[in-house]
């Protein structure tokens, strides 16, 4: 096997493979996959259907260190099949053991870093509602989604995941104002009356303000904020050594933050309610589609390949196909593989009540 198209047999855009992913990954050619999005079994939380014969499955390890090692071994193999420009998105939940929050997701993330992965984001998936079993601590409502890459330069289409601004600039009393009502009149007055800016700095600030207002008129930006020495302060830090903005303020006397009309990038906190309508007989941890959109759109080019080595009901593959990508799913459970195949063909709707 030397070619991923051969692997796909030229006929299909998806494949589901039954078996242990550590073994089955070995059948996939080197550097052939663009993006991996997956959620392995969590440590000591297994609820899945594994028609097994008493073998210790991933997640069942008595010692969390064995779980971390076993998982990292699988991701070594994922690294081999991932293109140099590829991405791995790893969703993991934590576990209390003897009342102690184990920090399992971070233990795994650090082990992966130690094995050469570069961690680009540790997304907080805020699931908004969580069960409350203990009365002596807060409710747990988030899980992690780590974004790893193999090298410093990788495929990332940030334009594909921009959040479009909801409001646009508009006219108010004959004056153009930004999406949040900023006209620049207050900034112009502050610059002109400033005792902290030199004449040259004032001229530069007024010129920058005019050019920003022109960009807004021309539809290139929808909003802006100006920070002027003596009036506003830097957002994060006033220390020139740690903040580029603080340095700009000290050196030039002002800076301007602009929000482009193309929109802004999502933050690393995602508020997405988990699927709670799925058929409870089918599976326990089905990905909501929304969770998969940005990772696939940003890190897998069209017609590229998305892999989920713990594919469960095939959510990752289904979403990849919807987004005009190809998909490979691997799962240890025959039932889930059969269900995934039907789901992809539209023959099963997981969210129907039974
Ligand atoms: C958290 S679930 C994934 C659910 C999936 N994201 C979905 O949307 O349906 C983890 C899956 O890993 C599978 N699994 C456990 N150990 C495995 C292994 N060694 N190789 C492949 N799959 C495995 C389980 O059968 C289970 O379906």
> Distance, CA 20 to ligand 1 centroid (Å)?
10
Binding site membership of 145 for ligand 1 (Cβ less than 6 Å): no
Chain segment 137-191, per-residue pLDDT in tens: 999 999 999 999 999 999 999 999 999 888 999 999 899 999 999 999 999 999 9
Nearest CA to ligand 1 atom 8: 286
Mean pLDDT (the chain, rounded): 90
Return residue ranges of the chain for CATH 3.40.50.150.
4-161+266-344
Chain segment 69-112, per-residue pLDDT in tens: 999 999 999 999 999 999 999 999 999 999 999 999 999 999 99
Chain segment 4-35, per-residue pLDDT in tens: 777 787 678 999 999 999 999 999 999 999 99
Of the chain, the end-to-end C-alpha distance in Å amounts to 42
Residue 226 tokens read as 């100006």
pTM, two decimals, is: 0.85
From CA 42, how far away is CA 235, in angstroms rounded?
38
CATH of domain 4-161+266-344: 3.40.50.150
Q: 83 with 33: CB under 8 angstroms?
A: yes
String of DSSP letters for 200-242: HHHHHHHHHHHHHHHHHHTTSEEEEEEEETTTS--SS---TTT
Of 311, 316, 338, the one to substitute when testing ligand 1's pocket (max ligand atoms within 8 A of C-beta) is 311
From CA 243, how far away is CA 228, in angstroms rounded?
16
> Distance, CA 335 to ligand 1 centroid (Å)?
11
């Amino acid at each position: 096997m030397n070619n991923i198209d051969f692997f796909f047999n030229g006929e299909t855009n998806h494949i589901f493979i039954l078996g242990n992913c550590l073994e089955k990954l070995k059948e996939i050619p080197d550097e052939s996959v663009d993006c991996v999005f997956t959620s392995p079994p969590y440590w000591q939380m297994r609820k899945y259907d594994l028609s097994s014969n008493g073998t210790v499955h991933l997640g069942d390890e008595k010692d969390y260190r064995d779980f971390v090692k076993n998982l990292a071994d699988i991701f070594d193999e994922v690294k081999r099949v991932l293109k140099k420009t590829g991405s791995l998105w790893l969703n993991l939940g934590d576990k209390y053991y003897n009342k102690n929050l184990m920090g399992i997701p971070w233990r795994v993330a650090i082990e992966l870093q130690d094995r050469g992965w570069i961690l680009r984001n540790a997304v907080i998936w805020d699931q908004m509602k969580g069960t409350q079993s203990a009365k002596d601590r807060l409710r747990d409502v988030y899980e992690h989604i780590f974004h790893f890459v193999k090298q410093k330069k990788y495929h990332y289409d940030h334009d594909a995941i921009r959040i479009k601004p909801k409001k646009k600039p508009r006219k108010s009393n004959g004056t153009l104002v930004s999406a949040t009502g900023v006209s620049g009149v207050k900034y112009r007055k502050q610059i002109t009356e400033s005792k902290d800016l030199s004449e040259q700095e004032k001229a530069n600030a007024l010129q920058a303000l005019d050019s920003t207002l022109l960009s807004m008129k021309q539809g290139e930006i929808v909003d802006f904020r100006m920070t002027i020495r003596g009036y506003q302060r830097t957002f994060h830090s006033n220390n020139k050594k740690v903040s580029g903005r603080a340095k700009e303020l000290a050196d030039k006397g002002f800076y301007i933050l602009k929000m482009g009309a193309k929109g802004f990038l999502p933050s690393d906190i995602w508020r997405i309610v988990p699927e709670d309508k799925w058929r409870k007989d089918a599976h326990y941890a089905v990905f909501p589609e929304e969770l998969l959109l940005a990772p696939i759109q940003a890190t897998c080019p069209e017609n590229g390949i998305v892999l989920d080595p713990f594919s469960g009901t095939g959510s990752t593959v289904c979403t990849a196909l919807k987004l005009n990508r190809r998909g490979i799913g691997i799962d240890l459970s025959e039932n889930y593989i059969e269900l995934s195949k039907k789901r992809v063909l539209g023959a099963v709707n997981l969210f129907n009540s039974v």
